[in-house]
């Protein structure tokens, strides 16, 4: 699992170093911000990652847990559910 939810994460270029037996889970959905990522943006980012690692060796998830600190993140349960649904619908659109 690798976090790629913000510009600080850098490019997907390091994925070209992943060994053949590994699958990479792209943490593209932020658990820190309530703003819902668009499916179009997520698909474009997955396609960008697929330039360095085959699509069948990639997966999608939130970048971390929704309570990644002792105090948790200021994101409502409703927003968390929206984000999890977006992960599922995007995964279905990309991988079937």
- Listed in sequence order, the residues at least 6 apart from 16 whose beta carbon sits closer than 8 Å to its beta carbon are 52, 53
Q: What is the pLDDT of residues 5-49, one digit of tens each?
A: 888 888 999 999 999 999 999 999 998 888 999 999 999 999 999
Percent of the chain scoring above 90 in pLDDT:
70
Residue 16's pLDDT is what? 95
Question: Can you tell me whether residue 4 is helix, strand or coil?
Answer: coil
DSSP letters spanning 24-80: EEEEEE-SS--SPPPHHHHHHHHHHHTTTS-GGGEEEEESS-TT-STT--S--HHHH
Residue 60's pLDDT is what? 97
Residue 6's pLDDT is what? 81
Higher pLDDT, 78 or 7: 78
Percent of the chain scoring above 70 in pLDDT:
93
Residue 32's pLDDT is what? 85
């Amino acid at each position: 699992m690798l976090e790629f939810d913000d510009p600080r994460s850098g490019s997907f270029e390091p994925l070209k170093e992943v060994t053949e037996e590994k699958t990479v889970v792209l943490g593209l959905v932020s658990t820190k911000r309530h703003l819902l990522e668009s499916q179009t943006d997520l698909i474009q980012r997955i396609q960008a990652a697929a330039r360095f690692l085959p699509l069948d060796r990639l997966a999608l998830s939130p970048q971390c847990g929704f309570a990644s600190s002792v105090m948790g993140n200021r994101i409502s349960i409703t927003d968390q559910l929206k984000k999890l649904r977006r992960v599922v619908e995007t995964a279905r659109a990309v991988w079937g």
